[in-house]
A and B are shown apart, each in its own frame.
Chain A
């Protein structure tokens, strides 16, 4: 059974600081996704990572994937208040088609 773990689950940081959210998964996968969720809203797709060593960046967020270590990271650079949200990683198991297993989510609060 595929397990996906995120760390940390709660993160409070000051504006301007950097931090990394980690996503570990237990079995081989060919796709990993990062999503953002604002309170009361659905998921917003941030990144799709498809291969080992993949790195994608959008604004102050950068995601990477290491399939050998079964680890993805979401790095936040110079955080701003607008980044406050819950971030989920989700992993597609190779044999499960489009079915996703979600991590627990990381609730990020960026303080002025």
Chain B
């Protein structure tokens, strides 16, 4: 149980285009989803917290107009990188916290990640 998927697993796009990444909780309902970015040899950096039906909360320094997050249902959150540039190239990882919070100890379950390369 507690499986999180991401799609696509990797994407290469041209500079200036937009890219959408999907994060799905497959066997549980996710009240909260998190989006992280990880540069090579670095730790995970939290970008934003996404709650179903409400606006995402962005971390300081993350441009909300550039990284659009939509948490439209209890099983799906999307991250859209708008007008992507080479510096946006990174490994994007989502995680989800289940509605069975007490049982799952508020544990985050991580997706497999999406490798974005902007040319």
Which residues does A use to contact B, with CB under 8 Å?
31, 33, 35, 40-43, 45, 48, 50, 88, 92, 97-100, 102-105, 107
Q: Are B107 and A97 in contact (CB under 8 A)?
A: no
**Minimum C-beta distance from A95 to chain B (A):** 12
Q: Are A48 and B105 in contact (CB under 8 A)?
A: yes
Question: In the assembly, what is the distance between CA of A33 and CA of B42, in Å?
Answer: 18
Indicate whether A105 sits within 8 Å of B113 (C-beta atoms), given known contacts A50-B105, A98-B97: no
What are 6 A-B contacts with C-beta separation under 8 Å? Answer: A31-B105, A45-B109, A92-B106, A98-B34, A100-B108, A102-B44
Which residues does B use to contact A, with CB under 8 Å?
32, 34, 41-44, 46, 49, 93, 97, 101, 105-113, 115
List, in ascending order, chain B residues with CB within 8 A of A35's CB: 110
**Minimum C-beta distance from A111 to chain B (A):** 19
7 A-B pairs with the lowest CB-CB distances in the bound complex, closest first: A98-B106, A42-B113, A98-B97, A43-B110, A42-B112, A102-B43, A102-B44
Among A43, A100, A104, which residue has the most Cβ atoms of chain B within 10 A? Answer: A43
List, in ascending order, chain B residues with CB within 8 A of A92's CB: 106
**Minimum C-beta distance from B36 to chain A (A):** 9
Indicate whether A88 sits within 8 Å of B105 (C-beta atoms), given known contacts A41-B112, A98-B97: no
List, in ascending order, chain B residues with CB within 8 A of A42's CB: 93, 110-113
Question: In the assembly, what is the distance between CA of A31 and CA of B112, in Å?
Answer: 23
List, in ascending order, chain B residues with CB within 8 A of A33's CB: 107
Question: In the assembly, what is the distance between CA of A35 and CA of B38, in Å?
Answer: 15
Indicate whether A98 sits within 8 Å of B110 (C-beta atoms), given known contacts A43-B93, A88-B43, A104-B43: no
Cross-chain contact of B43 among A41, A98, A105 (Cβ < 8 A): A105
Q: Are B32 and A98 in contact (CB under 8 A)?
A: yes
Question: In the assembly, what is the distance between CA of A105 and CA of B109, in Å?
Answer: 18
**Minimum C-beta distance from A14 to chain B (A):** 23
List, in ascending order, chain A residues with CB within 8 A of B41's CB: 107
List, in ascending order, chain B residues with CB within 8 A of A105's CB: 42-43
List, in ascending order, chain A residues with CB within 8 A of B113's CB: 41-42
Question: In the assembly, what is the distance between CA of A3 and CA of B81, in Å?
Answer: 28
